[in-house]
């Protein structure tokens, strides 16, 4: 995919917030791709985890906002434990998710889950799902 | 209050003394405005004393209907306190606002179609799982209910426990007004209590048995006889009826055992 | 655990008694929140797990054993936070002013760790009355027992705890490469089709390595791997379903307890017929 990188497109506020919420130094990623390789959900994602970090670093908020990647992430932490730089990607993904959820933009409504599913799902599925997809 | 000239009438004196004793005023703040109201009044009476006329936020005046939920704070304390306006006596410098109604979510359902399974609650109120156990609801309850624990019981699928814990709930809505997860706790509890009462609590067998006995006509004859007894004779029968004495033992029996 | 995952809890409670200790349920526990909050400024979501740890401390106990791996992860990470971060600890303690203060006094373990470290595999093997002979079970760890590194109960890359557990019970562990691959977790509520894909990857891999069943530690993994099996059987004609067990059920069975306590009827993948085939169930 081609992306235009320019100081005009760098959303500094976005980068600052991501760093603050995740506590991670985005500069430490050297784009080796171990995260994408280990991610079990990568095949369903439009942008790979590695690409998300690069876009975050460059402040390209729009590309990230249009991506489905962070909503497909299951927080399994495979990326985090395999990163050679000790960088915690799961926290960066969470930060990016929260920046949307905290604007009161939910990704799922409980009423959209069918009553059958609501009845059959283990409670931890509802609790964790509502935590990750609603603010 | 200045002393009025002595009255010779003792009744009048007594009334005047009463008025003087009750004259102590305390300052309170209603919706930000300061008023001085007689000490010893409830919040509701104090607001009416101050000139407010209740057309909402007021109901039974007896601590049961949940209409008059009030939030207040005392100076020097950051904590919010809650009370029912009809029950709580005013305290000096209390700063209050009322929450007469909170638009909490109330699921639509046909009660007769529900089973006793906890999944019924999960289906109707999926936002139940947004609870983060912050305990703001418990702190906001004027009835002292452990709201967080009752929600926890519901999440665990224990309708009976949720019904038990929420027994004193008067549906004032203060819990929902403070809830981080935007739950309508009191509506969920009402559903739990309804399911518990109608579908889980065992039925009194002796009651069903008694109803059956009555329907089979056991008492028809005596009821018929009584219908034909008139006026004074009926009164006499009633006043002279045999009643079980207060400290009756297990083996007490009436003189006429025909209907036992 | 009282409703849908009775088949995880009941055999656990029964088994530990045979092994010489007791699992006491904490009074007034609340849901721990299932997922650990990954944001630096988020403290409200730490309240729920920490409150449970406070309940343990209130009882005068210093060890919390969990059955479910999902909760294990959240509770252990929250516990580490309270131990290591003084500022957050102070804020949380002052927020929960209706509770006693807490600073990480309780140890959080998973039942598997108790079996390995406090009982020992040899001692466990000696108590086995019904060795699970010829039951080829693939250990499935999922994510939460092993990631992140600071909570892992075993090696992150090459865990062996379930293998040793199965051997102690007399079963034949079948290693396969997807044993630590995520089942999809909470994605089940928003992207259930993705879950079906993950389930197939995991189950098919186990099948190809000769497994007859999987052993699990988490009710969500159980749901994700089990729920879609009927559809997978329709889609992949060679697939006849893969029975899923909780580790506590295999434990109870091997210790010779009444199979009723295992509630096999709640399991996915019809494990009863497999057990009958191996003469492990009458």
Residue C114, pLDDT score = 92
Whether residue A70 sits in one domain with residue A98: yes
Residues B150 and B2: their CA atoms lie apart, in Å, by 56
A5 touches chain B (CB under 8 A): no
Asked if the Cβ–Cβ distance from B122 to A118 is below 8 Å, we say yes
Q: Is there a single domain that holds both residue A24 and residue A90?
A: yes
Pair (A77, A113) in one structural domain: no
A120 and A88 part of one domain: no
Q: How far is A47 from A28, CA to CA, in rounded Å?
A: 20
Identify whether residues A113 and A62 lie together within a single domain: no
Q: Which residues contact C130 (CB under 8 A, 6 or more apart)?
A: C253, C254, C255, C256, C280
3-class SS letters over chain C: CCCCCHHHHHHHHHHHHHCCCCCCCCCCCCCCCCCCCCCCCCCHHHHHHHHHHHHHHHCCCCEEEECCHHHHHHHHHHHHHHHHCHHHHHHHHHHCCCCCCCCCCCEEEEHHHHHHHHHCHHHHHHHCCCCCCCCEEEECCCCCCCCCHHHCCCCCCCCCHHHHHHHHCCCEECCCCCCCCCCCHHHHHCCHHHHHHHHHHHHHHHHHCCCCEEEECCHHHHHHHHHCHHHHHHHCCCCCCCCEEEHHHHHHHHCCCCHHHHCHHHCCCCHHHHHHHCCCCC
Residue of C nearest to A132 (CA): C186
Measured between beta carbons, the chain B residues lying within 8 angstroms of A126 are: 122, 126, 129
The alpha-carbon gap from A129 to the nearest alpha carbon of chain C, in Å, equals 5
- Note whether A118 and A99 are same-domain residues: no
User: CA C259, B200, C220: angle at the middle one, nearest 5?
Assistant: 45
| Residues with Cβ within 8 Å of residue C240, at least 6 apart in sequence | C233
All structural domains of chain C? 6-111 (no CATH), 120-277 (3.40.50.11810)
- The Cα–Cα gap between B16 and A123 comes to 66
B133 backbone dihedrals φ, ψ, rounded to 5° = 60, 40
N-to-C CA span, chain B: 70
A17/A57 same-domain check: yes
Name residue C64's beta-bridge partners: C108
**A67 band by pLDDT with thresholds 50, 70 and 90:** very high
CB pairs under 8 A between A and C: 126
The tens digit of pLDDT for each residue in B20-57 reads 555 689 999 998 999 999 999 999 999 999 999 998 88
Q: Hey, how many other C-beta atoms are within 10 angstroms of the C-beta on A18?
A: 26
**Cα(C43)–Cα(B179) distance, integer angstroms:** 16
Domain annotation for chain B: domains and CATH numbers: 23-98 (3.10.20.30), 111-200 (1.10.1060.10)
Q: Which residues of A touch C147 (CB under 8 A)?
A: 76-78, 80-81
> What would the two tokens of residue C176 be?
């396969």
Per the structure block, which two tokens stand in for B127?
């936002």
Q: Which residue of B has its CA nearest to A125?
A: B129
Q: What's residue B16's pLDDT?
A: 64
The per-residue pLDDT for range B115-152, each reduced to its tens digit, is 999 999 999 999 999 988 888 999 899 999 999 999 99
Residue C29 sits at the chain B interface (C-beta within 8 Å): yes
Render pLDDT for A13-63 as a digit per residue (tens, 0 to 9). 899 999 999 999 999 999 999 999 999 999 999 999 999 999 999 889 888
What's the pLDDT at C121? 94
ipTM: 0.89
Sequence-ordered strand ranges (E) for chain B = 25-30, 33-38, 69-73, 81-84, 94-98
Q: Do residues A82 and A125 share a domain?
A: no
Taking alpha carbons only, the member of C260, C259, C262 closest to residue C249 is C262
Dump pLDDT digits (tens) for C189-228.
Answer: 998 889 999 999 999 999 999 999 999 999 999 999 999 8
Please tell me whether residue B237 adopts helix, strand or coil conformation.
helix
- State whether B119 and A119 contact (CB < 8 Å): yes
Q: Which residue of C has its CA nearest to A23?
A: C40
Please indicate, yes or no, if residue A2 is contained in any of the structural domains.
no
Domain ranges, residue A83? 12-103
Domain count, chain A: 2
- Look at residue C30 in the predicted model and tell me its pLDDT: 87
Residue B101 pLDDT: 74
pLDDT exceeds 80 at position B233: yes
Structure-token pair, residue C216: 């699990």
Give the tens place of pLDDT for each residue, B170-218. Answer: 999 999 999 988 899 999 999 999 999 999 999 899 999 999 999 999 9
The greatest distance separating any two alpha carbons of chain C, rounded to the nearest whole angstrom, comes to 59
Q: Inform me whether the C-beta atom of residue C100 falls under 8 Å from chain B C-beta atoms.
A: no
| Helix C69-84 / helix A123-133 crossing angle, nearest 10 deg | 50
HSE value, Cβ hemisphere, 13 Å, CA-based, for C56: 23
pLDDT of residue C3: 79
Residue B19 pLDDT exceeds 90: no
Q: What are the respective helix, strand and coil percentages of chain A, to the nearest 5?
A: 60, 0, 40
Average the pLDDT over A103-131 and give the result: 89
**Helices H / strands E in chain B, number of each:** 11, 5
Does A1 fall in a domain?
no
As a whole number of angstroms, the distance between CA C88 and CA C132 comes to: 48
Helix (H) or strand (E) holding A57: helix A49-57
Tell me, yes or no, whether A28 lies in a domain. Answer: yes
Residue A74 within any structural domain of the chain: yes
CB C97 within 8 A of CB C167: no
Per-residue confidence band for C122, with pLDDT thresholds at 50, 70 and 90: very high
- Chain B residues in contact with A115 by the CB 8 A cut-off are 123
In 3-state terms, what secondary structure has residue B108? coil
Is the per-residue pLDDT at B6 higher than 70?
no
Any chains having at least 3 CB pairs less than 8 A from chain A are B, C
In a domain, A26, yes or no: yes
């Amino acid at each position: 995919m081609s992306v235009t990188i320019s100081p005009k497109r760098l959303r500094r506020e976005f980068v600052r917030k991501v760093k603050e919420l995740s506590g991670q130094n985005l500069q430490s990623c050297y784009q080796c791709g171990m995260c994408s390789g280990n991610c079990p959900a990568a095949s369903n994602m439009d942008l790979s985890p590695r690409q998300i970090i690069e876009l975050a670093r460059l402040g390209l908020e729009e590309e990230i906002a249009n991506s489905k990647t962070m909503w497909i992430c299951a927080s399994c932490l495979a990326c985090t434990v395999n990163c050679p730089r000790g960088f915690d990607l799961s926290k960066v993904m969470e930060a990016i998710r929260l920046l949307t959820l905290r604007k009161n933009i939910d990704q799922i409504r409980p009423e959209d889950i069918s009553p059958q599913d609501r009845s059959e799902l283990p409670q931890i599925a509802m609790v964790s799902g509502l935590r990750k997809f609603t603010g | 209050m200045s002393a009025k000239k002595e009255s010779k009438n003792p009744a009048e004196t007594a009334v005047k003394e009463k008025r003087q004793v009750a004259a102590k005023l305390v300052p309170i703040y209603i919706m930000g405005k300061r008023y001085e109201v007689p000490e010893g009044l409830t919040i509701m009476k104090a607001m009416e004393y101050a000139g407010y006329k209740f057309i909402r936020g007021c109901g039974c005046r007896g601590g049961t209907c949940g209409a008059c939920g009030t939030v207040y704070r005392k100076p020097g304390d950051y904590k919010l306190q809650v009370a029912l306006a009809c029950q709580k006596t005013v305290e000096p410098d209390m700063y209050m606002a009322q929450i007469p109604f909170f638009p909490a979510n109330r699921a639509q359902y046909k009660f007769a179609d529900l089973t006793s399974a906890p999944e019924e609650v999960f289906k109707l109120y999926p936002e139940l799982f947004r609870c983060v156990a912050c305990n703001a609801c418990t702190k906001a309850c004027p009835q002292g209910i452990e709201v967080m624990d009752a929600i926890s019981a519901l999440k665990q699928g224990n309708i009976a426990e949720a019904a038990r814990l929420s027994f004193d709930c008067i549906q004032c809505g203060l819990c929902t007004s403070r809830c981080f997860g935007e739950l309508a706790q009191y509506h969920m509890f009402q559903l739990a209590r309804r399911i518990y009462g109608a579908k889980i609590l065992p039925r009194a067998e002796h009651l069903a048995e008694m109803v059956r006995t009555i329907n089979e006509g056991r008492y028809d004859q005596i009821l018929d006889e009584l219908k034909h007894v008139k006026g004074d004779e009926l009164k006499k029968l009633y006043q002279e009826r045999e009643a079980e004495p207060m400290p009756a033992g297990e083996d007490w029996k009436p003189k006429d055992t025909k209907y036992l | 655990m009282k409703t849908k995952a009775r088949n995880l809890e009941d055999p656990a409670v029964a088994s530990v008694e045979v092994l010489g200790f007791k699992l006491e349920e904490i009074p007034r526990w609340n849901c721990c929140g299932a997922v650990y909050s990954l944001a630096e400024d988020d403290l409200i979501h730490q309240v729920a797990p920490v409150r449970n740890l406070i309940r343990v401390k209130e009882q005068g106990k210093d060890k919390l054993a969990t059955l479910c791996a999902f909760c294990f992860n959240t509770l252990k990470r929250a516990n580490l936070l309270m131990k290591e971060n003084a500022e957050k600890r102070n804020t949380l303690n002052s927020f929960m002013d209706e509770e006693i203060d807490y600073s990480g006094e309780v140890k959080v373990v998973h039942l598997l760790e108790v079996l390995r470290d406090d009982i020992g595999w040899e001692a466990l093997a000696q108590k086995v009355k019904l060795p699970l002979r010829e039951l080829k079970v693939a250990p499935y760890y999922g994510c939460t027992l092993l990631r992140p590194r600071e909570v892992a109960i075993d090696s992150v890359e090459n865990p062996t705890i379930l293998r040793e557990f199965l051997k102690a019970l007399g079963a034949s562990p079948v290693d396969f490469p997807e044993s630590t691959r995520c089942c999809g977790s909470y994605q089940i509520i928003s992207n259930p089709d993705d879950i079906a894909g993950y389930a197939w990857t995991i189950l098919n891999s186990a099948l190809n390595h000769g497994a007859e069943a999987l052993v699990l530690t988490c009710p969500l993994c159980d749901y994700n791997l089990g729920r879609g099996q009927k559809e997978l059987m329709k889609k992949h004609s060679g697939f006849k379903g893969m029975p899923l067990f909780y580790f506590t059920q295999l434990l109870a069975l091997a210790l010779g307890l009444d199979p009723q306590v295992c509630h096999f009827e709640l399991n996915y993948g019809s494990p009863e017929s497999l057990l009958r085939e191996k003469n492990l169930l009458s």
